[in-house]
Amino acid sequence: MRSGLGMKAMRSAVKSMMVAAIAALAIGAGAQAASNQVRQTPYWGSISAGQARMRTGPGRNYPASWLYQRAGLPVQVLEVYPGWRKIRDPDGTEGWMIGNLVSDQRTGMVKGGVAELRDRPDPGSRVVWRAEPGVIGRLSKCAAGWCKFDVQGRGGYLEETRLWGVEPGEAFD
């Protein structure tokens, strides 16, 4: 008699554990789906690795068309495919990159001639730094035609028209 009750209790415990495991999987799948929600394209990001391959399609079986060797390079994400991002680089080249090589960190690249970084977002404010074309820095905020631009701890405000990596009139913090 005791062994019969023990088996019933064991079956009940196993059943409870299975229900709990299924519930945990369902909750985990919901959390995973929420974390995989895709941003609306296009959006800006940057290359997160010192070396990143651009491919002709969204898969490792597609040939590499370019090897980037500049972490922080701003890119525009044009399309999202599971695990892959179609990007455009500052030269206009488009291709696919593994998603974990594309960061949400906003960066910008100086375009045109030498750019003057100012202490305030005002064309009459004091010039604190000058940056050559092609210099890359982090963008922490943009508003009213100016962006806070930081190059390895040296920062200032730069007119958005002097940057590749921000939309005209874009504002963010």
* Co-location of 47 and 98 in the same domain: yes
| Any domain includes 172 | no
Specify if 134 maps to a domain.
yes
Helix (H, G, I), strand (E, B) or coil at 105: coil
Does one domain contain both 60 and 91?
Answer: yes
The segments of the chain whose pLDDT lies below 70 read: 1-38
Overall domain count for the chain: 3
End-to-end, the C-alpha distance of the chain in Å comes to: 70
The residue range of the domain holding 5 is 1-37
Half-sphere exposure of 137 (CA within 13 A, CB side): 28
Together in a domain, 53 and 18: no
Q: Looking at the domain assignment, is residue 129 inside a domain? A: yes
Say yes or no: 11 and 64 in one domain. no
pLDDT for 39 equals 78
Q: Locate all alpha helices (DSSP H) within the chain, ordered by sequence.
A: 2-35
| Residues 139 and 106: beta-carbon distance below 8 Å | yes
Q: Could you tell me if residue 170 is inside a domain? A: no
CATH number for 85: 2.30.30.40
Same domain, 92 and 113: no
Query: How high is the pLDDT of residue 6?
Result: 52
